[in-house]
Amino acid sequence: MRRDAFQAIADPTRRAIIGLIAQRAMTPNEIADHFDISRQAVSKQLRILAECRLVRHESSGREIYYHFNPKRLQAVADFIEPYRQMWDQRFRQLDQLLLGLRGKNP
């Protein structure tokens, strides 16, 4: 089954893993230390993230390091952008309304 970035970020554990390795590359054991789940469960989540190409792994000696691939979230950002713009516009309108009301009431 082909997965996409939307499926990957649907799970809170996977979002947390992305947050961790976005800061620095980590081994599966380092990642597992941040969760109250088994190493195998972390490996499953990493496998899903890799299928979506949100992470890539690199071997260094006996260790495997996972790196974040932020470019793969571009589809999510593109999807969210119109909604962000809509809400920004609504908040600006609300700010203007509130400023207008404040000016009418001493």
pLDDT of res. 1: 58
Residue ranges of domains in the chain, CATH in brackets:
5-77 (1.10.10.10)
For residue 106, pLDDT beyond 70: no
For 50-105, what is each residue's pLDDT tens digit? 999 999 999 999 999 999 999 999 989 999 999 999 999 999 999 999 998 888 76
Query: Which residues lie closer than 8 Å to 42 by C-beta, 6 or more apart?
Result: 17, 28, 31, 32, 35
pLDDT of res. 105: 66
For residue 49, pLDDT beyond 90: yes
pLDDT of res. 104: 73
Task: Give the total residue count for the chain.
Answer: 106
pLDDT of res. 71: 93
Tell me the one-letter amino acid at 7.
Q
The mean pLDDT value for 33-46 works out to: 94
Residue 68 and residue 54 in contact, taking contact as beta carbons nearer than 8 Å? yes
Residue reference for tokens 């972390």: 42
pTM score? 0.79
Best CA proximity match to 35, nearest among 51, 55, 11, 58? 11
- CA contacts within 13 A on the Cβ side of 57: 16
Helix (H, G, I), strand (E, B) or coil at 47: helix
